[in-house]
A and B are shown apart, each in its own frame.
Chain A
Amino acid sequence: MIAVTPILSVATSVSEWMFERATHSLTLVATGNDRFLERFPLLLRDWITGHLPESLGWLAVSLLAIVVILAAFGLLFAYLTLAERKILGRIQNRPGPNRTGWFGLLQPFADGIKAVTKEDVVPREADAVLHFLAPVLLVAMSLLGLAVIPFGRHLLAANLEAGVLYFFAAGAATELAVFMAGWASHNKYSLLAAMRALAQLISYELPLLLSVVPVVMLAGSLSTTHIVDAQGGWTFGWIPHWHVLTPWGFAGFLMFMIAALAESNRSPFDLPEAESELIAGHLTEYSGFKYALFFMAEYFGMCGLSAMAVTLFLGGWQAPCAFLEFIPSYAWFTVKLLTLLLGFIWIRATLPRLRMDQLTRLAWKFLVPLTLLNLANAAFWSLSAGWSGPLQWVRWAIAVAVVVGPFLFLGRALTAGVAPRTYRYA
């Protein structure tokens, strides 16, 4: 229900955008004094679409964006699985996959071939249509969000007015697909896991969105391009105006990442697919390529949320210092994205899985109040924007206190009677 209305409104705005794009996108060539590398993707696009008749140009531009996103993120997915396995291996004192190709670089393709050649088992009792549709829908929905991410100064598939809203609407639809998978499998473990997944995803949808609201509030726009533009510029030429470098932005970023971990079903919030309790949960009855699709969706979701975090808090494609601007914007975006993705892997290697009650308690008793306070904090930050001189210090002190105080207070309440844990018999 959360998802449907925004999707409809987004669908209309997408079609409007397509029309607008069709009318004058070809004239939207790189202007200004960009460097060659910055303009290069655009030049390449124009060169390719130049071979087609004028009337098909708009279609070619859109298809090209889709193909590029699919190819780039498909490859990123492939090598992210490899990187994850290698890093997890190193953390566990072993080398990780290193047999297929040079340093195991062909491992993702070997895995892909294996997944494709495996038998696709559908349980007799399963709802065949839904069973087939669930992974497809999941991948499709997790890919949709990537359309509104500005990967570079000129690299944006769809410049929607309500880009942020569209992103989270599309992301919320993945919950439906997960439940679809659990229901269609006709397996009690799958169904239990799907219920858990729904409980988890809906619980964390709230802090996820609430941690984004301050950004939208301060940028005054739901458009991702405007949000990135709002973070442009530097103080003294080397302190970027990224949101993460403000008290409310820092807190918002951390809470966004925690909620993103839960939204993408990653450890330590991977309860829906807990192997030890739910025999892989909603994935139990899936095999072969459908199973691979679920994994693909998980990684796409992870990439999408990381890319959103980069856009909202880490300045998008902006360079961290003025003199580093000669490096093209998409390179900066890639660096930031990969850093966040490595963070996901690092956290997966470190933290054990939460229990269901701990999971929901963390969301409702800790993250939601903190995000609400953070909203107030951002409002204060916005209102005190005019303060100068010593008042600047007061402004920072108040903002930091509003972040740190409740964190300590709520953290103590959350862990009261639980931590630090003593092991009497160990």
Chain B
Amino acid sequence: MLGSGILQGLAVTAKNFLGSYHDPARYTTVEYPEVKQQLPEAFRNFPFLVTENATDPMGTLRCVACQICEKECPPQCIFIEKSKDKKPDANGKLQIYPVVFAIDTSVCMSCQICVEVCPFDAIKMDQVFEIATTDRFGALLLNREQLAKPNEYFHQIHPTEAAEVDARLAADRKAAEEKAKAAAAAKAALPAKPAPAPVAKPAVVPPPTAPQSPGPAA
């Protein structure tokens, strides 16, 4: 009958209208600045630098300024300057560190290649998207202080990946320790050799202080 389709349509819209008052499925808007949507774990945007210890972010950067990411970055938005001296990292090992580590967020295309090439798990993808600024020259170039975020934050945004990384790092550390121990034992067994003393660990800083490593390292 002519008009029955119109009545059906009116019923649909009426259902939607009334449903929007009690049925969340019919009222899907999230009012953004006040309410923020839970981002899916797989959401990735802009890199950040991982630090081991939130209280001393610059001292515990995982980055050793190897500059692989700088060379691999397709739009070349990363700028790194190596240090002349060495500082002990989170594991107490002496390492070169980046004096300057800057990313131009207006150039970065969030391709994640820097993360994939990093041998030290020092740079990871973030979940930030509110990066608008009023200053298009200074504020879009993020320096290492702005880029450094603690490992806890990494756990918060990408729990699965962070756990994997921590486990891998802990395993590596354990393997290194065992290797060192074995080397020391071998050295003790062969005292005739000329002293290669400084090869061993300097052991200036207390042993692994990785804050929350869930791996078997602790």
Contact = CB atoms under 8 A, between A and B. Distances in A.
Interface string A332-361: 000000000000001101110000000000
B28 to A, nearest CB: 5
A92 B20 CA distance: 9
Interface in A56-109: 87, 90-95
A90 B16 contact: yes
Contacts of A420: 5
Q: Is the interface of A mostly helix, strand, loop or mixed?
A: helix
Interface in A221-235: none
Nearest to B18: A90
Contact of B5 (A90, A93, A95, A419): A419
Given A90-B20, A91-B13, A350 B29 contact: no
Contact of B1 (A91, A94, A351, A408): A408
Given A411-B2, A414-B2, A415-B2, A350 B13 contact: yes
Interface residues of A, number: 21
Contacts of A92: 16
A420 B26 CA distance: 28
B15 to A, nearest CB: 9
Given A408-B1, A411-B1, A93 B20 contact: yes
Interface residues of B, number: 19
Contacts of B20: 90-91, 93
B143 to A, nearest CB: 36
A215 B59 CA distance: 90
Given A90-B20, A93-B26, A411 B3 contact: yes
B4 to A, nearest CB: 9
B12 interface: yes
A347 B10 contact: yes
A414 to B, nearest CB: 6
Given A90-B16, A90-B20, A351 B31 contact: no
20 contacts: A87-B17, A90-B20, A91-B13, A91-B16, A91-B17, A93-B16, A93-B20, A93-B27, A93-B28, A93-B29, A94-B27, A94-B29, A95-B31, A349-B13, A350-B13, A410-B2, A411-B1, A411-B3, A415-B2, A419-B5
